[in-house]
A and B are shown apart, each in its own frame.
Chain A
Amino acid sequence: MKCDIENRSQWIAAYLTGELSQAEMSEFEQHYFQCEACFQELKIGRDAVNLIEREGPEVLAIPISGWEKVRQALSAVFSPRQWQTRPRWAFAFAALILLIVIGLPLGYLKYFSQTPSPESYAENFQPSSRLDNLIRQTYQSPTLFSQVEPANDSNFADEISFRWELPEEQKYAGAFELRILNNKEEEIYRFKAEQQRFHFDKKLAPGLYYWALLTENEMAYLGRFYVRRAER
Chain B
Amino acid sequence: MARNDLFLCELCPKSCKIREGHSGDCKARIAIDGEVRAVTYGKPCAVHIDPVEKKPLFHFLPGTPIFSLAAAGCNLHCKFCQNWTISQAAPEEIRTIDLPPEKVVAAALQQQCRSIAYTYTDPVIFFEYVTDTAALARRHGLRNVTVTAGYINRKPMEMLCEVTDASNTDLKAFSEPFYRDMCDAGLKPVLDGMVLMKERGVWLEVTNLVIPTFNDDLTMIRKMCRWMLSNLGPDTPLHFSRFHPMYMIRNLPPTPEETLVNARQEALDIGLHYVYVGNVFGSDSDHTYCPHCGTILVKRWGFSIRENNLVNGKCPKCGSTIAGVWS
Are the chains A and B members of one assembly? no
